[in-house]
Structures are given as structure tokens and as C-alpha cells.
A and B are shown apart, each in its own frame.
Chain A
């Protein structure tokens, strides 16, 4: 089943006085399977955040339709149901925590959904447990580290028990430790809790962990496939100013010399194995070739 769908979706922000609206998204057809882990890549300003905000009705399409769990986001009556099921985490953890105590912040959505008090208590504990923040439930958010704040933000969404969670560059403001913590939480959500994850990111090492990668460019979907399929297009990716994982880059470079290594290698162990095989001559004998640049 598709949890998120767009049909011929277009979007433009209203232009200022006298200026034309700028089209940001152009005729996007997209479907996200329930339970999948999708990463969205694209350079700055290509419309990733805009797409994310369209999925739970923060923005309304200016053309085409967006449906979440089969409900049209353009219909105001659906909004609460959609937002309950399609949670969203933003980049800056400071600007999405509302209360002055961690547990109260996690309960915020539940208060809005009129959840009875006893159940609230249970769901807050559960959500904080999933993100490993239970010991901090009485703390003040502004005293937590960036990674901890971001995990509290995730817990605040999880408390709603959403079917899908959209994360817009959740690790962009974090240090490597915070990034690892948050990524571990995201993976666990997807694998163990069965939550559909849509992760917008600039980090390739995060994107390769997904089942599927969407590459956006100029408001359109440029590439769509498994990490292997997507990162095989090293040339195309580099042409839209995107990095590729180092191992994919190396394989790409080797292929420039007609060395027939597998097309897309993503993790480092695999890459090492290919290099060993290469040196042992498994891909043919290159000893007589000249490797000049």
C-alpha cells in the first residue's frame, strides 16, 4: 500500500508584490510504499523541504494532488488525521520544542489530540524509551545536547504513533556523535516499529542506509531507485552538484580506465574486497596497462 502519493504535483510560493510566483515543484508523480525507508537528496533550494511540507498539509499544492493514507491534504477536514499519521521533524531542534520540560514537550501532540491523561503518561514513557531519552524526562530541553534535543523532537512525534515520519535534515546541525544517535533512532523506528521513514539529507552515508533514494533537481525527481541503482549514476549526480559515497566514486574512477569493476559499490568492506580481487587479477590482467592520468 502507498502511504504517500502525489499526482502531477506542482507548487509555487506566492511571489511578492508585483512579482510572479516562483514554481518550486513541477509535475511530480511519486508514491511511497508503507514501511519503506526513503531518502531524498538534492542540492540547496531544489524543493526538498517544500515537498516535505506538502505531505502533511502544512503547504497546499497549487497544482495536482497530494494524498496521505488515501486522504487528500487539500481537504481541511482531513488535516488532523493526516498530521497524526504523518509526523514531521525539522532541522533545528531548538525551534520545535515547545515546553520547558522534556516530558511535557513529548506530551504536546497528545494534549492537542485530547488523549486522556493515563494514556498520555504511558505513551510519553514509551516514546522516550524508543529514542533512549527516558532518564531525561524531567530535564529542561535547553540544557540538552543537539542530538538529545533532536531525539526528544522525534519522541514528540512518535507519541502520536504516526504511520510515517518525515525528517527534514534532522542531523544537519548536529556533531558526529549526535548524528549517529539520531540515525540509529531512525533506523530502529523503521526496522523495529515499522514506521515509514522519509529522510531528507545532504549526507550520502545516511542516504545509503535507505531502501530507496530519490534525487531531486530543479523541482523534479531526477533519479529514483535503490542506493545501488542511484549511485551508479556518478556522472549525473556530480553534474547536479551532489556527492557520491567515496567507494562509489572510486569505482567510478576505475571504470574511467576501462577497468571492469562492479558498477556500484556502497559499503567500505565491499569496496575493499573488490580492490583485493582486482589486485589478485580476478577481473582480468591489467599489468600491461599504463595508468597515466
Chain B
């Protein structure tokens, strides 16, 4: 049952969005976020939202999934919108109803725009993880952050750690399942009692799990040394990313979007 947890929320697929070079996706996601913060008027938001719709449609990820992604931030969304509404200035919406005097056109406008901005921000960033496997993302990060090696950031080591973590999560999840069954067979009870009792019941799961993880780590280190691992210097890569025509097209569209938004800012 634990096995069903999805990791990083990747939805495998073969859509044009999935096929983009992961580096392109990381960079264009950043560009999209920047464009969201450049927007000043309603038309800009319209362009951004339209762009998001196109991306969602192209990726063939069900709309429901995308909406579910917003659920965790619903509270933040309401909170910011409410504050924008309350602290609005300018002409009230209902000029003759005195107790609604705080409700201004300006406040309403800000509230809606802020909500749209947050929603697009969340969808935009989660779309990167929806359409890119964690291991591809790790590779993209290593490749994009490579220049940081000059300032002694251990880029290779970090990405190796990520890779190993991703590789071992299913193994450790399997093992946790086994330990839980083994402890249940010995009469352990994980389901009843108050929170402290239940937390205490987790100890007999965590201790064997940690010990075994250390043993695995030791064996893995030996196995890596046996395969001539000696750090990240002068390593070559098996999986190399190639920018393709579609990446250029995607970059063009995204830059075009930003240009359009800036243009709209200027003319309105």
C-alpha cells in the first residue's frame, strides 16, 4: 500500500511538452515566472493564462489533476485575496451603502489579479515536475548549475546524492512494508491509541530501517569504488541532453509571450 505514493508527481507521457529537453523546461519555467511578475494589466494576465492553457492542452495531463494541484494553496489564496480586498483604496463599489465602503474597485481588481498570479505561478512550476521525471530534472540541474563548480559548489556530488536517493526510495519503501508486516506478525499495533502511543509504535519500524539503510550505504560505497568511482572530476556522461528544434520553438514562444506582456504594459 505504501508503494502507491507517487514521487514528485511525475505523470509519464510522450507529449511534446514531455519531450522537451529538461534544461529547456527549467529555463522556460523561470522565464514564465519572471513574465508573471512583469504583468501590470488585465490583458497581460489574459496572455499568461492563455499560454498556460495551451501548455496544459499540449501536455495531455487531465485538467482535474492540474486543479488538484491548487488545492494545497487554497488557504494562502483566500488569505491574500481577502487582504487585497480589504486594503483596497479608491472609489467604493457601492457608493451609497456605507458599511460596504471598504469594498473598492481597486481592491477587487488587486484581489483577482493576485489570485490569478498565484494560481498561474503554482501551475507553472508544478508543470515542470508533472512532465519531467525526477532523474531528468536532476540531470538538468547538474548541467545548468555546472558553472557553479568554479565557485566550489559541489554540483556533481549533490546530483549524485539526488540520483542515489531516487534510486533507493522504492527499495526502502519495499523494505518498510516488509518491516511493518514483520512487526505486525509479532503483534505490533500501529492503528490504535493516542498520537504518542502511535508515534512510539513507529520506533520498531524506524530503527531496523535506519540500520539497514546504513548497511546498504556501506555496500553501495564499496560497489561504487569497485566501479572506479572517484568523484566528479573528468567524468563523462552517458545521458547527454540535446537541444532540438522543438526546444528552440518553445523558447521562441515563451520569449514572444514575455515580449507581448511588456508591449501590453507599455500601450495600456
Contacts and interface: CB of A to CB of B under 8 A. Distances in A.
A and B: bona fide binding partners: yes
Contacts of B238: 103-104, 107-108, 110-111, 117, 120-121, 124
A53 B223 CA distance: 10
B222 A108 contact: no
Nearest to B173: A142
B191 interface: no
A83 B225 contact: yes
A141 interface: yes
Contact of A142 (B170, B225, B230, B240): B170
Interface string A196-225: 000000000000000000000000000000
Interface in B93-135: 135
B227 A108 contact: yes
Chain A contact residues (Cβ within 8 angstroms of B): what range?
A: 35 or more
Interface of B: 135, 163-164, 166-167, 170-171, 174, 216, 219-220, 222-230, 234-240
Contacts of B216: 92, 94-95
B168 to A, nearest CB: 9
A256 B226 CA distance: 47
B224 A98 contact: yes
Nearest to A166: B226
Contacts of B234: 114
A80 B233 CA distance: 14
Contact of A94 (B135, B164, B171): B171
A97 B230 CA distance: 17
Given A90-B219, A96-B220, A100-B167, A120 B236 contact: yes
Given A108-B238, A117-B240, A142-B174, 17 more contacts: A56-B226, A58-B225, A95-B219, A95-B220, A98-B164, A98-B224, A100-B163, A108-B229, A109-B228, A114-B234, A116-B236, A117-B236, A120-B236, A140-B170, A142-B171, A160-B227, A160-B228
A131 B234 CA distance: 29
B236 A98 contact: no
Residue from B163, B235, B240 having most chain A Cβ neighbours under 10 A: B235
- Counting from the closest, the 3 A-B pairs by CB-CB distance are A96-B223, A107-B238, A109-B227
Contacts of A111: 235-238
Contacts of B236: 110-111, 114-117, 120
A28 interface: no
A239 interface: no
Contacts of B224: 98, 108
A112 interface: yes
Nearest to B228: A112
A56 B236 CA distance: 23
